[in-house]
Structure 1
Amino acid sequence: MKKELVIWEKFSFYLCCFLSMLIPIPLFLDGLVGGVILQKESFPVVNSFPIPIGLLAFLIVFIIFFINSFLFKQEYSLLVKNRTNRLVLYFLSIFIFLWSFFLSGNNFFRVFQLILPFILILIVGFPVGKGKIKKITYFYLISFFCFNSTHLVSIFLNNNLFEVSEREYGLYWGYGIYQAFVSYPGVLALFFCLVSFLFFFEKRVILKFFLFIFILVIIVAIGLAARRISFLEMIFTFLFLFLFLFIDFVKNKGVVNKNLFLSCVSFIFLIFFILSFYFNMPIFRRASSGMDDGGVDSGRLIIYERAFNFLFSDVYFLMFGYNGYSGFHNYFLELIFAIGLFPFLITILTFVFMFKVRINLSFSDIGSYILLSLFGCFFLQSMFNASITQPLYLCNFLMIMLISFFYINSEVRSV
């Protein structure tokens, strides 16, 4: 290998490590006017085209890995490597673009949102070495830990923990966090899932302590954000963790793994922490007020009923899609609204057949539980908030999915 290529490989990898630190940060650029969106308001008003800095960093990182997958075939690989699968995704992207733009009548920004997941999946490359995956993982984690910790410090300097309002939570040192109550809590729930499983998986004391503190920070942040769906995702992750522990205990015929036992005791402490504090935090107050108003679904069931009535009121539009935004608060219904039922079914079936042969789940493999938990979080978000259409959530979901799978497996596999 030429010396110049060796230098480029090392430089590009550490550049990607640095850029990965920007991916989870909820900082946005104004796509039309230019500059960073900074407003001293809890709910920043943006009338232009907001672009997450994390999305730009994500694209640069994986474009570099994409290039390196051709330059260094032994050290990097593509997520979708099979030529047939890549052609299928290319044609599917073009099909969705043409259908939604010309038949459904969506504007270019909306069409870009729809095909963005396909674009990202196509360009995703990754280093195959476990050491490199771990480095990227901890650069990524440390960045989000620092942001969340300093965010909580900025809140607690001026407020009592149990009296924080939505307005105060949405501020980071006086500046509003754009999408602080939409995609940002969804990203928090994804990190809770990733960090919790890494905590069980990690054996080094210092890193285990860091992950434990990180989990506490995320729990407090979710409690202050008062997003009930993020809280449900957290409970969902707890259930999968303890299901794994129970099956591991039965599999080993009652022999207790010391690392898992200490991790379990720590998590029991976390449960008591939640029970002790959440009753006095914004998330419990919001749930209580929802019950007083007649339910905790924030009117989602009524919205879904109206959505089905609307979609099935006209067969033509059901098949070809509508122009604009639905407000259905459900990714699957919004996708049907935007492109129609036929392309929706084609998209779902394509991904099912493409990935079903590569996802081999095992009840004795902790990696399977991470993937199931993340898919569960994704499903809950998609059912109630449609966060997957928001680039900040999407790039972090893909990043965490990749880390979760490749961090645990010593041999990285492509599709």
Structure 2
Amino acid sequence: KSKCVILAAGGYSRVYSVSSSRSFENYGEGVVLAYETGVELVDMEMVQFHPTGMVWPRKAVGTLATEAIRGEGGILLNSNCERFMKNYYPERMELGPRDVVARSIYSEIVAGRGTKHGGVWLDATHMPKAKILERLPTMYDQFKRIAGVDISKEKMEVAPTAHYSMGGVVVDSKCQTNVKGLFAIGEVVGHVHGANRLGGNSLLGTVVFGKIAGREAATTAEREKKRTIKRGTSAKLRIADNKEFASGLFVVQDPDTIRGQVQQVMEENAGIVREANKLQKGRRKILELKKAFYSKNHVLKDFKNYRNLVSTYEAKSALLVSEAVIRSALMRQESRGAHYRSDFPDRDDRKWKANIYCRKHGKTMVLVRRKTKKIKESVKNLLQVQTKVEHHLLE
């Protein structure tokens, strides 16, 4: 009966097996809810990998070692104790853009210069302990508590981790989607951070767009008449009785297993460095998993298991989102920001100064390419403003 809904359900970085997101969400559930309602998605190929996530112990894999460490003077070393960023980005070394630093670390690991647990070293041992405790108290506590590492005396093992999804739901300047009464803010929204989000900007985005969405939703709700729903139609959804819904979702194979397989496919075929053969392979595997997931020959009888219901919807969301990411990544035959194609390593503004949109058409997903709009002069002037980045505040 709601006159307005504000969707603020997060992104989809958990479709990768190594991510910095929370343990039980961010499989793209909000994106999928909007997509199935008829909302367009945009920039789904743009997934940001944070350069430095923990790689040990196992329970902590993906947990961020924030930019603050490098901002305060932490350096990156390979297994030979070489400061390798001088070979990739000598101008700014460890403080280069996230995509550049993440790819550089990835390249060192692939070349066999990684650490025992598959990462590189992040070293802050040259810094006075007093400075670490003053400027990096959270990171000091995190590594001490989780890994038993005193970062003032020992190097940290880190590797790239899926961190933020810059693609998502399309909204207008009032945070409204093309579905009347449906608003969206935060990481569930695409088009805000372009191809390479700056650290800290997601927090800024929630503050700015949260205010706009709240104001516009309230104004819209005041204008709208009260909606009525006929008794027995959709006022109450009883999963146990809704067999059409259940048979379309529940499968004998544990949904957690399928979800895990999706994560592995994405990690191996649509990660930091992409190319056509791997993307095609990933797409085939996702379609195979999708077919198995929706097999009506394997319906579970227990429709009341809440945890199973949640896992099932997460798996369903991960499958759809992964298809959108891979197909968009295949379509964009260039490298731009967080999207890097080794077979198309250069940025191509002539062909690809454009956005890729995904929309639902019946049971199929349709991808459309549209040229970007010209930036207003007033906005251009703002973009020219140079400010010093406070790295110790970045996440």
With normalisation by structure 2, the TM-score equals 0.22
Q: Per residue, is there more helix in 1 or in 2?
A: 1
With normalisation by structure 1, the TM-score equals 0.21
Q: Per residue, is there more strand in 1 or in 2?
A: 2
